[in-house]
Amino acid sequence: MHPFTFEAHIPRTIFGQGTLKQVGEEVKRLGSRRVLLITQDNERQLALAHKVRDIIGADNVAGICADAVMHTPEEVTTKALAYAKSVNADGVVSLGGGSTVGLAKALAVRTGWPHVAVPTTYAGSEATTVLGETVNGLKTTRSDPKILPNTIVYDVDLTLGMPAFLTFPSGINALAHYVEALYSPALNPIIEGVALSGTTEMYSALIKLKDAPTDVDARAEALGGAFAAGVCLAHVGMGLHHKLCHTLGGSFGLPHAETHTVVLPHAMGYNYSAAKGAMQKIERAIGTSEKAPQAFWDFEKKLGTPTSLKELGLKKEDLAKAADLASKAQYPNPAPLDREKLLTLLENAWEGNPPAIM
């Protein structure tokens, strides 16, 4: 018997095609009169922000903040909060991926304002109780049910034009949530079932999207898979893989989804022997006869995603510091954290070598 305690933390969720038009209704339902739209400073996201402003109504939009950046630096949050207060905002609507959701979470948890999330990638951050912020060059994380958005609005139409260089790293980011959930010490039968079925669905959806990027059914599978992956992350916590990615992103400025993509097979290799049962379940879920770390590495090469930390801009001389940072904080992980083994993992990931089974 495996005893467990389970308490669900899942926001109100609206999923479908054309659901963007319901954002105004959700803002009104939550009692916000002047929401701040959180986005990023690029043409695609700003166009979406203007569309959402029209849906909500200009009188009920306090402004557009396009300052969201990767890893939610504290100074960006401070600036955005000052702006939000200057325009008398009383709620936030995040539009985009993990960076916009992160900034909106940071504002909402500091103010108590309602948060409606409209994801356009597969990061899954909108469904988690986790807030990651960078303070003085170090990525910090905290988990609290209060961090969850009040409502998530998933509109599959918003993902149809997502380019391959965003689709596949973002999808593998979601797969990373599933993988680490499956070997988490806090795993329970409910989350295990979600993670195994989600792994199969997301893996399959990404293969379909390689050949047919506008396949609506595949996009829906991937977006639903991202939601479920976020739910897994919220309920059982994560281990080595996520810690390494937070270290590499927060301290060395590496891009979030791409870092998850490069690191995942190597983190799986590190934990393979200590979590063999979970790895074999993953192998069955994706239908491979290979060991899971190698299968994921091959899968990523097939999708054309980055396979080395070198190509993401990490300097070789920073590997030792990264290993030091990742090994300092103790956190739940199947295999004990060993600084020298972590350095070997990082060296392989930096070179783009196949993952080693440790």
Q: In what order do the strands lie in the sheet with 35-38?
A: 12-16, 151-155, 115-119, 91-96, 35-38, 61-65
Each residue of 270-280: pLDDT tens digit?
A: 999 999 999 99
d(CA 321, CA 314): 11
Q: Are 9 and 150 in contact (CB under 8 A)?
A: no
> Which CATH code of 3.40.720.10, 3.30.930.10, 3.40.50.1370, 1.20.1090.10 fits the domain covering 164-351?
1.20.1090.10
Q: Are 81 and 107 in contact (CB under 8 A)?
A: yes
Give pLDDT, residue 238. 85
Q: Which amino acid is at 265?
A: P
Taking residues 162-166, report their average pLDDT. Answer: 96
Tokens encoding 29? 């339902």
Inter-CA distances, 39 with 53, 310, 344, Å: 12, 29, 38
Each residue of 71-81: pLDDT tens digit?
A: 999 999 999 99
Q: Which amino acid is at 77?
A: T
Give pLDDT, residue 330. 74
Most confident stretch, 101-105, 233-237, 241-245, 323-327: 101-105
**Among 149-153, 207-211, 249-253, 261-265, where is mean pLDDT lowest?**
249-253
> Which CATH code of 3.30.70.2750, 3.40.640.10, 3.30.420.10, 3.40.50.1970 fits the domain covering 12-159?
3.40.50.1970
d(CA 232, CA 23): 25
Each residue of 232-266: pLDDT tens digit?
A: 999 998 899 999 998 999 899 999 999 999 999 99
E-strand spans in 56-156? 61-65, 91-96, 115-119, 130-135, 138-143, 151-155
Inter-CA distances, 243 with 128, 320, 328, Å: 16, 15, 11
Give pLDDT, residue 137. 81
Q: Which residues contact 332 (CB under 8 A, 6 or more apart)?
A: 184, 185, 186, 237, 239
Q: Are 55 and 23 in contact (CB under 8 A)?
A: yes
Average pLDDT, the chain: 96
Other Cβ atoms within 10 Å of 142 Cβ, number: 11
Give pLDDT, residue 319. 98
Inter-CA distances, 271 with 1, 47, 165, 166, 224, Å: 23, 43, 28, 27, 27
Residues of the chain with CATH 1.20.1090.10: 164-351
Taking residues 107-111, report their average pLDDT. Answer: 98
Give pLDDT, residue 331. 80
148 pLDDT above the threshold of 70: yes
d(CA 33, CA 26): 11
State how far Cα 264 lies from the chain centre: 13
Taking residues 216-231, report their average pLDDT. Answer: 98
Residues of the chain with CATH 3.40.50.1970: 12-159
Residue 67 DSSP class: B
Each residue of 178-200: pLDDT tens digit?
A: 999 999 999 999 999 999 999 99
Give pLDDT, residue 163. 96
- Can you name the residues that pair with 16 across neighbouring β-strands? 155
Give pLDDT, residue 4. 87
Question: In 211-249, which positions are buried (b, 16+ CB within 10 angstroms) versus exposed (e)?
Answer: eebeeeebbbbbbbbbbbbbbbbbbbbbbbbbbbbbbbb
pTM: 0.95
Confidence of residue 1 (pLDDT cuts 50, 70, 90): low
